[in-house]
Amino acid sequence: MDIHPILQEFLDKWVYPTGFTGPGYDFRMRFTERCLPAWNVATLRSVEAAEKDAQDPSREWLKNNAMAGYAGEGPQMSIKQMSTQLLAVSIEEQEKYIELQRMRAQQIWDEVKHGQLHADVLLRGKFIEKEEDLMESADANTLGILSYFGLTAMFPHIHPLARNAQHYFFEGTACLGIAVRIKYMDDPLDLHDNLSQYPEELMHFMEGKFQMDAYALTEAEQKPIEEALDFMMQPWAPTLADALTLDESLEAEA
């Protein structure tokens, strides 16, 4: 497999450096090997989309991206994620995983900010007149990425560490997509959206990286993370299935 240069840069800067050795880090490296083909195809797809969008003066893509972001990255989902983390982790384990709870609480602040960021793009792009208009739009309030925004709220019920598959694999994909937009797009609102978002998505990726390195030390702790990745790679998970559908023309380009 030829690694796309944007993915290679991501690997060298953020994936391979580690603060720990041992079974957690070894597990993460094996996990990374599973992520690589999907990350590579997702990067190629993002490049393809960015090149297409850059040629489209209608900026309909900007509206669609912001709508999807507004729907998917709102406080509603992060509150669900934090509350399920609180409700699902046993009292005996709460102390051990207290930082996971705090990270979820932090995420609510980030997601509120992101909801505003996407509304800001829609307002400044003149796609809506006021934020309240979004209440009339189904597109701004629903997102069909089942594997990520739906049942992932249930991951803590499986194991306190299960969500790390999401943090690591899916947020890694998000970081790559954003890196592509920053490199390929010069639309000021698109850049504003992506530059604002990048450190937060990378922070979620780092949550997964840290928790795998530091906490996923036994087979019992690693298995639920692995199973969560299996779940996210199911062919019925819409967006991910796109990323995982090997496209021969893209492969040839790579």
Partner 1 sequence: MAKQPDIIPIKIDHDKCTECRMCYVVCREINFNAVIIDTAETHLHEIDMDRCVYPRCTVCLMYCPADASIVESETGKSLVPPPAEAWTEDKRWPRRA
Task: Decide: is 14 part of the binding site for partner 1 (CB under 8 A).
Answer: yes
Interacting span for partner 1 (CB under 8 A) from 23-31, 57-65, 74-82, 226-234: 23-31
Give residue 54's identity as a one-letter amino acid code.
A
Q: By CB under 8 A, which span of 32-40, 48-56, 158-166, 207-215 interacts with partner 1?
A: 207-215
Integer Cα distance of 200 and 117 in angstroms: 12
DSSP secondary structure code for residue 167 in this structure: I
Minimum distance from residue 49 beta carbon to partner 1 (Å): 24
Q: Considering the rule CB under 8 A, would residue 206 count as an interface residue with partner 1?
A: yes
Q: Which of 85, 134, 213, 224 binds partner 1 (CB under 8 A)?
A: 213
**Member of 5, 37, 199, 238 binding partner 1 (CB under 8 A):** 199
56's CB contacts (< 8 A; 6+ apart) are none
3-class DSSP assignment, residue 233: coil
What is the rounded distance in angstroms from the CA atom of residue 58 to the CA atom of residue 70? 20
218 binds partner 1 (CB under 8 A): yes
Those residues whose C-beta lies under 8 Å from the C-beta of residue 126, and which sit 6 or more positions away, are none
Q: Is 200 one of the binding residues for partner 1 (CB under 8 A)?
A: yes
Binding mask of the shown chain, residues 80 to 109, with x at each position contacting partner 1 by CB under 8 A: -------------------x--xx--x---
Name the nearest CA neighbour of 179 among 9, 2, 3: 9
Q: Which of 54, 151, 182, 217 binds partner 1 (CB under 8 A)?
A: 217
Q: For residue 224, which amino acid is it? A: P
Residue 207 touching partner 1 (CB under 8 A): yes
CB environment 12-28: b (16+ within 10 A), e (fewer): eeebeebeeeeebbebb
250 lies in the site for partner 1, by CB under 8 A? no
Residue 254 CB, shortest distance to partner 1, in Å, is 24
Cβ-Cβ contacts under 8 Å for 127 (sequence gap 6 or more) = 62, 63, 66
| Positions in the binding site for partner 1 (CB under 8 A) | 13-14, 17-25, 99, 102-103, 106, 199-200, 202-203, 205-207, 209-210, 213-214, 217-218
